[in-house]
Amino acid sequence: MKRWQKAVIWAIVVGFAAGGIGLFTFQRFSPPPKGSAEEVVLVVEGQKFTRAQFSQTLENIFNYYRQLYQMFGMDFDAQLRGTDGAFLRFQYLAQAGEALIRQTIIRNEADRLRIQVPKAELDQAVQTRYNQVVQQVGSEETLKLYLQAQNLTLDRYKELLRQAEEERLREEKLKAAVVGAIEPTPEELRQYYEANKDRYQTEPEKVKVAHILVKDAKLADELLGRVQAPGADFASLAKQYSQDEATKEKGGETDYFSRYASPFSTTVTDVIWSLNVGEVRLVEDDQGYHIVKLLDRKPPVVPAFEEIQDKVRQDYVQEETTKRWDNWYKEK
């Protein structure tokens, strides 16, 4: 997106919130009274958007978040109250401005390239989406009741759904035209695999440690010296002194665990992951003083490149598609 488009978003936000906006110097015309529904608050590539249109876009964003928050038993509107809520509302105003700018740029480019959606393809997409919505709400009658609460008829909803699906499909076709063919070489796929091995783990890295927990700092220092001495019996010391009931009777030994399923606090876990096998460290956290010894480390399990080459190619193409599309949009 061009720099002026980013600047215009925040100018819209301030002007909209203040009840009026002069549209800078992009276009000259005699505007309706400031603050009225007919006042033009945004012009993108020659297309004018009124305050009413901007408000509707903002309300659509709010409705989306209301439904999302409701799924988790939360009240979205509560976040819009007070000083913090006023600041958050500015961010949503900017989001609405960005949505209108993006929609216009994509629509105009699709028009320029004469991208159309065949009727049969659109009909099928609309029907599929409609069936999904009915299935989600339970029945068509339930959908009608929901729409009535939104002051919408079923016919009007279907019109809006068709418009939305047409916009979506046109954008998909435009993206395909902008991005072009992506044919990675075997070497590029291999490099991508090596750079993103973490993504393909079937088992994360795991460690096994010996552990003694005490509450007294002086005792902890004493035990640290004893377990670091040549020939020290860590297990016996754990059984005698450790206050960790989960590992005490096992000589302080844990089962293998991954970093994100660690039985220890973040403070202790971070230290464990920095150790070499056989190394001992004393760590303090809210529970007390931990003497930890790294017993073993199992590397993550990653399938061989040849086993998941199709998946790697799919991820590469998807990432490259997003990169090219985003770069195109930023340059508009």
CA–CA separation, 69 and 313 (whole Å): 36
Q: What is the pLDDT of residue 146?
A: 86
Q: Which structural domain range is residue 320 located in?
A: 186-199+303-331
Among the candidates 112, 145, 170, a domain finishes at 112
Q: Do 208 and 231 reside in the same domain of the chain?
A: yes
160 and 248 together in one domain: no
Q: Are residues 129 and 172 in the same domain?
A: yes
Whole-number pLDDT of residue 32? 61
**pTM (two decimals):** 0.68
Domain boundary among 93, 112, 131: 112
Among the three residues 147, 179, 211, which one is the final residue of a domain in this structure? 179
Domain count, the chain: 4
Alpha-carbon gap, residue 318 to 151, rounded angstroms: 39
For residue 184, give both structure tokens: 């990675």
d(CA 209, CA 252): 8
pLDDT beneath 50, residues of the chain: 3-29
Residue with tokens 């056989």: 278
pLDDT of residue 25: 32
312 and 277 co-located in one domain: no
- H helix runs in 28-153, sequence order: 51-71, 82-112, 119-137, 140-149
**Sign (positive/negative) of CA torsion 61, 66, 72, 77?**
positive
For residue 109, the SS3 value is helix
Q: Does residue 123 share a domain with residue 86?
A: no
Q: Are residues 311 and 278 in the same domain?
A: no
